[in-house]
Amino acid sequence: MRADGHTYLVVNAVPGDHIAFKQVEKRRGALRGELISIVESSPDRVSPSCPVASQCGGCAMQFLNPAKHSEVKSSWVFDAFSSCRHLHATYLPSDPVSAAARRRIRWYIGHDEQGTFLGFRAKASHSVVRHDLCMSATPSLNRLRQELEGSAELVALDAYESVQAIELDDGIHLILEGASFPSGLDIPFQQIDGMLLQWWHRCEGVTRPLHKPVQQFHDRLPTGEVGDISLLVGPDDFIQGLTEGNRLMIEQILEWSEGSSFVVDLFSGIGNLSLPIAAAHGSRVVGAEHNDASVRAANANAKRLNLDANFIQANLFENFSIEPLAGADLLILDPPRRGAKKVCSMMGRLLPAKIIMVNCDVASGGRDGEMLQSLGYRLHTLRALDLFPYTGHVEAMSLWVR
């Protein structure tokens, strides 16, 4: 919202609304306001499909007509990179994606007069909101939550802070978080909707299986005409929240990476973006990632798939050795929300011919893009991609050339 020359973030306001609000705080560099009343409704305002939309902190765009979501989110990407766009740069707005497809979820433990339940936290609060059905989650995860609530006493859910679930192609990792390791826990069920479950316990950063043999699950990734490959994904490995969105991202990267024989993948995770390139184009891949477990997983996946890829541990927010990373045909940059300021400042020494940047925070992406531009790179293509339906987040993908 714009008022008195300032921009405010106001929960449950919709573009085009005229509202009364009050400023409540400034957090993470942004002024925030609390909605008091709607003076005049936007024509794009709708009644939310979710009955707890006004309370739950999970989906910030429930009051906006879903037909407008892609347009609004695409405009965020377009505006964030405004200082880098030029006449000949291609811009690709976001296409709609499936809403009920969120495959990675963290529920928090709540208590009310009906008993113990699993829900999402309320907006700007640690209180937990009970819900019957999450419209963003996959059907299997909704069913899993119901089964867990029905087994709350047997599983001793009261002892935990949260439960994480990661749905993959051939099974679900289920992680109980926040209590000491249980002794003698009887696993109440090991399948949901025909999918296998692997139960885990996590406390103080250590994840241990709750039953053996340990089930291994995989994520299927596209590689163009070669067909899909399967990446082994553990309970601590990061994956994108939507299968469909992740595949769209990889398909775009495969198109942009054609002809690249040496690919460097920074913030590489388990190789989600670069191993498909190695499989599709026969490229040599060198990746760097701070998390040791992700580096081990990426190397294990490369070896299992017989791909020419090697991943190393490096703190990409500090000084790191560029020797194995310099002179690539293509450099992939997929940083966390804080961006990749340090890496971008070193691009004059890394000297890749092309850069693909993927940003889950478009503001930091636009800032990093300005740094690339100052070092002689030109924005070739900018694409918005919605990997977070109904939320106030959007992914920015950009291709840069020298």
Q: Which residues pair with 401 in a beta bridge?
A: 354, 378
Asked about 56 being catalytic, the answer comes back as no
Contacts of 52 (CB under 8 A, 6+ apart): 129, 130, 131
CB atoms within 10 A of CB 227: 10
Identify the DSSP state of 187.
P
Which member of 56, 134, 344, 360 is catalytic? Answer: 360
Q: How far apart are CA 272 and CA 32, in angstroms?
A: 35
Could you tell me if 397 and 332 are in contact, meaning their C-beta atoms sit under 8 angstroms apart? Answer: no
Q: How far apart are CA 349 and CA 357, in angstroms?
A: 17
DSSP secondary structure letters along 113-155: TTEEEEEEEBTTSS-EE--S--TTB-HHHHHHHHHHHHTHHHH
CA-CA-CA-CA dihedral for 316, 318, 323, 326, to nearest 10: 50
The amino acid present at 58, given as its one-letter code, is G
- In the three-class reduction of DSSP (H, G, I as helix; E, B as strand; rest coil), residue 71 is classed as helix
Q: How far is CA 150 from the centre of its chain?
A: 29
Numbers of helices and strands, H then E, in the chain: 9, 22
What is the token pair recorded at 157? 């859910």
Contacts of 370 (CB under 8 A, 6+ apart): 83, 84
76 φ, ψ (degrees, to nearest 5): -65, -45
- In the three-class reduction of DSSP (H, G, I as helix; E, B as strand; rest coil), residue 330 is classed as strand
Active site residues: 360
